[in-house]
Structure formats: structure tokens, C-alpha cells
């Protein structure tokens, strides 16, 4: 096994860590925003869902790259 497998594993781990932290901070900010302005709940919720989708896309891209690297070294 060369460095591509190790790189794929480390990259996926870091992407998962970043995704978890990003979604956690986003949820914290959304809850605080709704607590401060309950009348803006709909806007805050829709923006939070959109941002979560973008954050998750980063993890999915990293997963695809990790699979491609793994398949490259196993072939």
C-alpha cells in the first residue's frame, strides 16, 4: 500500500471532522438566532438547511475522491 491509501483515509477523516464541526456550529448559530428573533424562524431555518446541504456536499466530494484513490491503488 502506498501513500494514496493513507492519504485517502486521513482526508476522509479530516473531511468528516470538518463537516461535523461545521454543522454543529451552524445549528448552534441557528438556535441562537431563533431564540433572539422568533419571528425570523422560517428564514433562519431555510438558510440553515441550505447551508447544511452545502457542508454535506464537501464530505461527499471527499468520499468520492477517497474511493477513487482506493480503487487506484487496489487496481
pLDDT attached to residue 37? 96
| 55 closest CA partner among 13, 17, 10, 1 | 17
pLDDT attached to residue 71? 85
Number of folded domains that form the chain = 1
pLDDT attached to residue 66? 86
**What pLDDT, in 10s, does the model give residues 21-38?**
999 999 999 999 999 999
The pTM of the full predicted model, rounded to 2 decimals, is: 0.81
**What pLDDT, in 10s, does the model give residues 38-75?**
999 999 999 999 999 999 999 899 999 888 888 887 76
51-to-6, 17, 32, 68 alpha-carbon distances in Å: 30, 17, 16, 26
Question: The domain that contains 12 carries what CATH number?
Answer: 1.20.20.10
The C-alpha cell 476522509 sits at 12
Q: Which domain holds residue 24?
A: 3-74
Amino acid at each position: 500500500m502506498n501513500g494514496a491509501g493513507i492519504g485517502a483515509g486521513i482526508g476522509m477523516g479530516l473531511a468528516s471532522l470538518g463537516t461535523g464541526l461545521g454543522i454543529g456550529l451552524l445549528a448552534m448559530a441557528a438556535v441562537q438566532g431563533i431564540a433572539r428573533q422568533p419571528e425570523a424562524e422560517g428564514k433562519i431555518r431555510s438558510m440553515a438547511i441550505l447551508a447544511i446541504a452545502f457542508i454535506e456536499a464537501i464530505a461527499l466530494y471527499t468520499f468520492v475522491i477517497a474511493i477513487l484513490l482506493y480503487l487506484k491503488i487496489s487496481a
